[in-house]
Amino acid sequence: MRSEDVTTAVSAPGKVLLAGGYLVLDRAYNGLVFGLSARINVIAQQIHTSEGIHLNEIVVESPQFLEAQWRYGYHLADEDGGIKVTQLQVGSRINPNPFVETALSFALTYVARAGHYRRSHSIRPGRLTILADNDYYSQGGTAKSASSNSSSSTTPPAASINAQTASRFARFPTTLGGAHKTGLGSSAALVTSLTAALLTHYLDPSVFDLSSEKGKEVLHNLAQAAHCAAQGKVGSGFDVAAAVYGSCLYRRFSPGILSNLPEPGSPGFASKLEQLVNGTVKWDTEVLKEGVSMPAGIALRMCDVDCGSQTVGMVKQVLAWRAKETGPAKELWDELQNRNEALAKVLKEGRTGDIKTAVTAVRDLVRKMGTESKVPIEPESQTELLDALEKEVEGVYGGVVPGAGGFDALALLVKDDAETVTKIEEFVENWSKTKGGRVSLLGVKGEMEGVRMEKVEGYAGWIR
């Protein structure tokens, strides 16, 4: 049996939907999604109490941000309701975090029905520390970094830095809610890594093994269910799939799979969740790892364009257009699917010389979709920037406005060397000065691997 006194660390990657924005919402189509080197890390530890004192409490901390501690009580609900989580007051305030709270409810309910917990239900108190790689948040030079040699376990020393060139985990002079996200899929990576840390920390490897295919399937199903519940809707799930499996061709699950799952704490929640996670309810997700690769010498890089978009409103408007213009929309989506698959094939086969043509073909139809639906999927300002990068910067093979589009990010396929990075950095710096706003090349790169165990030593100075 695994000892709960062992500190457990896991991480899950962010994502970029390189091709398949909007299409991935429909099971008739798929999306080309890449995992990213930027990861959300979660370290799970036992809370030690004095003899004779029993706590039912989980403490969650994100020490990179101000006022980022959440405390939760938990108890076994009546009528098969699973583990009910209740947020506790910290000082004079309660700062809700639906993604953390929902992930705890779902993961602890699953733990309580697995292994020896099914008999005892005695889940011991724990502490979870969340650390996000710097590229998840836009930084204007005001972030602060912790020294890995710090002797303090609770308040690492800090100095003003450019976070991209300093420590992996910056300290931010703001609350989590006040930080500007770069759109790399932080909520899905958080729910996935938090769930993986809890399952790994509390369950014996014979019951849950993160490195096994069965373990990943359990994690995927549980994290998908929790993430959908936390965001209040059933999304396509490509971001959670990337967090679990890494880069892949992804076809979404049928939304009806989650339709009969009660709220946490409600009668029957625990049994229904267990059936859903263990595959008694058949998932029809398709995750094809073999359909995706990146040519040798080519890297996927991300640019942060610090504007932001209202993705939810954009999606609703595109779907409304599709529902109204059924015939033309289907024709466009079918052809865009063909072009997306052609791009995936070019990358998989390593045909570097064909990347630009394949990317251009995808962008042409994405802009047409935007024009027809009156949604700025690839806004004119992004078109101008992408065209200039392709034309003026040697080593840039092509780029897109990924996912749902808008003003907040670019994904570039570039030559994987330091010289190209320098050229891009110089170009976007000059672009920002000339055009206004702020465009910056993030340190993050595309990578193939999904969730994984980490060595605890890598978080020295951040955990107690």
- C-beta separation of 400 from 370 below 8 A: no
Whether residue 143 is predicted with pLDDT greater than 50 in this model: the reply is no
C-alpha atoms less than 13 angstroms from C-alpha of 319 in its C-beta half-sphere? 13
Whether residue 306 is predicted with pLDDT greater than 80 in this model: the reply is no
- C-beta separation of 276 from 270 below 8 A: no
- C-beta separation of 128 from 44 below 8 A: yes
Q: What's the whole-number average pLDDT of the chain?
A: 89
Instruction: Give the closest residue to 4 by CA, choosing from 90, 95, 127.
Output: 127
**CATH assignment, 294-447:** 3.30.70.890
**pLDDT of res. 86:** 94
**pLDDT of res. 251:** 98
Model confidence band, residue 240 (pLDDT cutoffs 50, 70, 90): very high
60 forms bridges with which residues in the sheet? 70, 128
Question: Distance between CA 405 and CA 20 in Å, rounded?
Answer: 11
Whether residue 88 is predicted with pLDDT greater than 70 in this model: the reply is yes
**Per-residue pLDDT tens for 220-238?**
999 999 999 999 988 899 9
Instruction: Give the closest residue to 33 by CA, choosing from 11, 6, 13.
Output: 13
- C-beta separation of 143 from 174 below 8 A: no
Domain ranges in the chain are 8-289+450-459, 294-447
Whether residue 245 is predicted with pLDDT greater than 50 in this model: the reply is yes
231 sits in which H/E element: helix 213-231
Choose the weakest-confidence range: 88-97, 205-214, 287-296. Answer: 88-97
**pLDDT of res. 165:** 35
Q: Within 10 A of 259 (CB to CB), how many other CB atoms are there? A: 8
* Beta-strand runs (E) in 134-184: 144-145, 170-171
SS3 content of the chain, % helix, strand, coil (to 5): 40, 20, 40
Render 439-464 in DSSP notation, one character per residue: EEEEEEEEES--SEE--GGGGTTT--
Choose the weakest-confidence range: 118-127, 160-169, 332-341, 361-370. Answer: 160-169
Whole-structure pTM value = 0.91
**Alpha helices for 246-349 (secondary structure H):** 269-278, 311-324, 326-348
Distances (CA, A) of 386 to 195, 338, 383, 390: 37, 22, 5, 6
Instruction: Give the closest residue to 208 by CA, choosing from 101, 198, 258, 192.
Output: 198
Q: Which two tokens stand for residue 324?
A: 């109204």
**pLDDT of res. 140:** 55
**pLDDT of res. 2:** 56
**pLDDT of res. 94:** 84
**pLDDT of res. 9:** 97
Q: Given the structure tokens 């457990």, which residue do they identify?
A: 8
**CATH topology agreement for domains 8-289+450-459 and 294-447:** no
**Per-residue pLDDT tens for 171-219?**
999 999 888 888 898 999 999 999 999 999 999 999 999 999 999 999 9
Mean pLDDT, residues 3-25 taken together: 92
Render 346-409 in DSSP notation, one character per residue: HHHTT-GGGHHHHHHHHHHHHHHHHHHHT--SS-HHHHHHHHHHHHHSTTEEEEE--TT-SSSE
**pLDDT of res. 408:** 84
Whether residue 76 is predicted with pLDDT greater than 60 in this model: the reply is yes
Could you please state the CATH topology (level 3) that the domain comprising 8-289+450-459 is classified under.
Ribosomal Protein S5; domain 2 (3.30.230)
Model confidence band, residue 343 (pLDDT cutoffs 50, 70, 90): very high
